[in-house]
Amino acid sequence: VWRWRNLLVSFAHSVLAGLWALFSLWHSPELLSDIQDGYSVSGHLLVCFSSGYFIHDTLDIIFHHQSRSSWEYLVHHAMAISAFVSLIVTGRFLVAAVLLLLVEVSNIFLTVRMLLKMSNVPSPALYEANKYINLVMYFAFRLAPQAYLTWYFLRYVELQGQGAFLTANLLLLDAMILMYFSRLLRSDFFPSLRKGSVGRDVDGEKFLID
């Protein structure tokens, strides 16, 4: 029951935050020309909203004694919360956060994938269709924004204070995203390459199928 409830809350956040991030950038495209100091009320509220979700999900995992099986999520949430709080307080790099939250569009399809696996409903056609959509969305809304921001921070952001902290967070997130992408490819496209990972989902063990 906890897995389903937690996953549905995660799905709701992905839909709201993903569409919100798209709307913010569509409504104020000029923000993309000033990643360090660009500001919009919508973007600021989006970062606050997602920070609240990450705090809620962290407490939900801890209080339901899922910390050991969901430690990767806790690490990710700790990184996101610390980075987002620094942006909320200083008002800088909010555009970078909005770009990063485009990942939630990709998470919509990752979550649908997990729901299909957990429901055990025989729907191979739906799973196959979602599998390829998921791959496209992973490139468009997870890998591409992450790669662009990593390049931008390494080239233009001074590696001192908040800039250094956020750059370190980005590089750690790069490693996690590439690890998840490798798992996704092995699980959905190259199952013969999976070794000792039966029952393990692409996003760690938060939704492990026993």
> Residue 201 contacts by C-beta under 8 Å, 6 or more apart in sequence?
114, 117, 183, 187, 207, 208, 209
Average pLDDT, the chain: 90
Each residue's pLDDT tens digit, 156-185: 999 999 999 999 999 999 999 999 999 999
Q: What is the per-residue pLDDT for 208?
A: 37
Q: What is the per-residue pLDDT for 122?
A: 65
Domain boundaries, the chain: 2-193
Per-residue HEC secondary structure of the chain comes to CHHHHHHHHHHHHHHHHHHHHHHHHHHCHHHHHCCCCCCCHHHHHHHHHHHHHHHHHHHHHHHCCCCCCCHHHHHHHHHHHHHHHHHHHHCCCHHHHHHHCCHHHHHHHHHHHHHHHHHCCCCHHHHHHHHHHHHHHHHHHHHHHHHHHHHHHHHHCCCCHHHHHHHHHHHHHHHHHHHHHHHHHHHHCCHHHCCCCCCCECCECCCCCC
Percentage of residues of the chain with pLDDT beyond 70: 91
Q: What is the per-residue pLDDT for 123?
A: 73
Higher pLDDT among residues 180 and 204, named by residue: 180
- For the beta carbon of residue 144, count every other beta carbon within 10 angstroms: 13
